[in-house]
Structure 1
Amino acid sequence: MKGTMVHIDITLVDKDILASGDRAKTAEDAGLDTAWCTETGLDVFLQAYEVARRTETIGVGTAIAVALSRTPMTVAYTAWNIADVSDGRFTLGLGSQVKAHIERRYSMPWNSPVGQMREFVLALREIWGNWRDGERLNFEGEHYTHTLMSPFWAPKPHDHHIPIHLAAVGPKMVEMAGEVADGIILHAFTNPAYMEQVTFPALERGLATSGRTLDDIEISLPMFMAMGDTDEEIEERRTAIASQLAFYASTPSYRPVLEAVGLEHLQPELTALSKSGDWDRLKDVVPADFVDHFAITGRPEDMPSLAKKHLGGKVRRTSSYYGWPVEDQARLSSILDGFRQEN
């Protein structure tokens, strides 16, 4: 692969849009590369707009916006406008979510998620091509059709390229991302064994289909980093991470991730607890070393060397799922230097 530098980002999991802008500005001042916005109880695009408005140089992205709760046209407008406001710093990260959320939370159709996501990407590019170059809008797919666009409805033109990154876990979605996306966002609920056995082989198949290699796609992995300056702080963070990981592990479609490390036997009980709404008991089901398959643990200064081992040589972008010690900018700058030295 070309180059060895790892980009170090921040993932914003705030439920306060204004607080997200504050944290992104602090991250920018500290030298982080991109602020990724998330759909955790707020509108991810409103959050991204606030980050773009409050910052000047840091990248702005969605990781992720739920595509299948929207349409290609609605996303095309929003992404186009944020790219304009951010002066080209915006990356559109999309994910499908899972069937229960699309049908029962968003009341939207779930037909063929891989096919829907593939068409979503292609439709976006067709729409943006119309706005940028005046190409006739004529996208007709199995799931989406966009054939009407008059000048009155077209947004203000600009020349900013909008990279599309796709979140993927299963091999079919990963392979499709390798075929059509500019980047792939791996789920924080993954482990090195699953990446080597499933993710990277599927990605390379998709890249081969489009005549590309790993040099042509950006691979990002937000990581769970159990950071603290005392044993008590670290243990508190590991407990929080265990709860989050157990929640992910309760999802039936994520069973292969557990199988890669021989923990698939945990899922039936986790799934039953999630269906009964007994969320607090999920972490009690997983063993003490469960976190170590998915996360790294130590002081903030330990993260560069630990992350290098966990990420391997293919992932070129990462972030700490629960953030960095950005309040002490000198300390954070030293940690970032450690990442760059390690890689």
Structure 2
Amino acid sequence: MDVDVMTTALPLGDIGSLAARTQAAGFSGMLFTETGRTPYLNAAVASQAAPGLELSTGVAVAFPRSPFITAATAWELQEGTGGRFRLGLGTQVRTHVVRRYGTAFERPGPRLRDYVLAVKACFAAFRTGTLDHHGEFYNLDFITPQWSAGPIDAPDPKVDIAAVNPWMLRMAGEVADGVHVHPIGEPGYIARHVVPKVAEGAMKSGRLPSDIALIVPVMTIVGDTDEERAAERERVRFSMSFYGSTPNYAFIWDEAGFDGTTARIREKQKAGDVNGMAAQITDDHIATFATESTWDGLAAALADKYGDTASRVVLYNALGDPERFERYGEVARQLSQGGALGR
């Protein structure tokens, strides 16, 4: 099991040292989210500061960038990392895409499916000189040598997508190389939805379910004293309330036995009550959706919980205190070397 550290995209001057620390600590790689800063430049700096580190976008917003621009950027990063880059894409939500990016959002699922195929067609064009993609949303059929990145001495980048609902999970299994599971994707949800739906999609395209990577972010509560774990638990509670406010994710809470969680969070959100939002996340929620452990037991706890499903585990809250970061790195090293799996 590979273990990455999750980080938002940071000022470029901060990334090189963080990448070097991440590699030295024992992590397999870094996953860059996209918020106010773009993940691609962060990945480029990290690739030069820590050669050999596996890098991915998790996830970059797809629609504001043309498939060709995204493909060309991923191609350069794949070359710069020596084949250790994964392109993670997502739709974002309508308000951001339309009102912040000024881009169309109609039928986001089918649009993302066509986008992934268009990106892969661009990869093929960089090798062959022929661009030929005609889909429902994107038509690409013109490329000349001076506008092509050309072949590289690495395989095509893997293209992963963020998927939550059953349709998107099936689509990921059909056309993508991996799935970014949602941060509140607890093991029951992964077993009920992610694994079978991805398998359905894989079979549709003549692939094995094992051909599609499952990339699972995990929220952890770690400490050797009750006080340490109590402080971590409150941070996780706030993170879960943020994610839990999205209506499309309500079914995940409901199916896990926490009916109405999203509605209660949204009621507090509309009132501007951030603390009230967090208060809707009970200790029972946290026990189901997070992993709590002592430091010595964390590797085994993660292996027991995700070892049969996850290709990569992404530690959601490893950054922060330098000492804790080093200890998380040792856990990552144990998992990547298989020592905690008992296999």
Q: Specify the alignment match of 1:196 in structure 2.
A: 191
Query: Take 1:223 and 1:167, find their aligned partners in 2: how far apart are those partners?
Result: 15
Q: Which of residues 323, 331, 341 in structure 1 aligns to 2:318? A: 323
2:85 counterpart (86, 90, 96): 90
Tell me the SS of whatever aligns to 2:72: helix
Which residue identity is paired with 1:144? Y
The residue aligned with 1:240 is: 235
Amino acid at match of 1:245: M
Q: Deviations over 1:2-46 (max 9, x none)?
A: xxxx11211123533332332221111223212111113311111
Pairing 1:159–2:157 present: no
Residues 2, 332 of structure 2: 8 Å contact kept:
no
What's the CA shift for 1:108?
Answer: 1.6
State how many pairs are aligned. Answer: 337
Q: 2:299 maps to which residue?
A: 304
The SS at the match of 2:42 is helix
Does structure 2 conserve the Cα–Cα contact (< 8 Å) formed by 1:13 and 1:322? no
Write the distance in 1 (CA, Å) between the matches of 2:163 and 2:72. 24
User: Which residue, 317, 322, 335 being the options, matches 2:331?
Assistant: 335
CA distance 1:18–1:129, change in 2 (3 Å): same
Q: 1:149 aligned to 105, 130, 143, which one?
A: 143
CA 1:144–1:277 in structure 2 vs 1: closer, same or farther (change >3 Å)?
A: farther
Q: Quick one: which of 250, 262, 265 aligns to 1:267?
A: 262
CA contact 1:176–1:206 (8 Å) conserved in 2: yes
The 1:198/1:20 distance shift into structure 2, 3 A limit, reads: same
Whether the 8 Å CA contact 1:249–1:255 is kept in 2: the answer is yes
Change (3 A) 1:20 1:238: farther
- Equivalent residues in 2 for 1:72-91, closer than 5 Å: 72-91=67-86
Q: Which residue of 1 aligns with 2:181?
A: 186
Q: Is the 8 Å Cα contact of residues 15 and 41 (structure 1) preserved in structure 2?
A: no
Equivalent-residue separation in structure 1 for 2:140 and 2:66 (angstroms)? 10
The answer to whether residue 123 in structure 2 is matched with residue 123 in structure 1 is no
CA distance in 1, matches of 2:42, 2:86: 13
* Alpha-carbon distance in structure 1 between the residues aligned to 2:271 and 2:48: 42
* Contact preservation (8 Å) 2:8, 2:32: yes
| Change in CA separation of 1:278 and 1:147 when aligned onto 2, cut-off 3 Å | farther
In the alignment, which of 197, 216, 229 is matched to residue 211 of structure 2? 216
Q: For residue 44 of structure 1, what is the aligned residue in structure 2?
A: 39
1:77-100, Cα deviation, whole Å (9 max, x unpaired):
211122222222211111112223
Identity across the alignment (%):
29
2:28 pairs with one of 33, 39, 51: 33
Q: Which moved more, 1:94-103 or 1:112-121?
A: 94-103
Q: Distance in 1 between matches of 2:288 and 2:95?
A: 27
Contact 2:10 2:42 in 1 (8 A): no
Q: Indicate if the aligned counterparts of 1:26 and 1:326 stay in contact, CA closer than 8 A.
A: no
Q: Deviations over 1:56-83 (max 9, x none)?
A: 1111111111112322122112111222
Name the CA distance, whole Å, in 2 between partners of 1:195 and 1:307: 14
Q: Distance in 2 between matches of 1:105 and 1:273?
A: 25
- Where structure 1 has 5 or more consecutive residues not aligned to the other structure, the ranges are 1-5
Query: 8 Å contact 1:15–1:40 — kept in the other structure?
Result: no
3-state SS of paired residue (2:146): helix
What's the offset of the Cα at 1:253?
0.4
Q: Is the 8 A contact 2:127 2:150 kept in 1?
A: no
Cα separation, partners in 2 of 1:158 and 1:276, compared to 1, 3 Å = farther
Partner Cα distance (1:332, 1:270) in 2 = 31
The answer (yes or no) to whether the contact 1:95–1:166 under 8 Å persists in 2 is yes
The Cα shift of 1:148 comes to: 2.3
1:132 aligned residue (127, 150, 153):
127
TM normalised by structure 1 equals 0.91
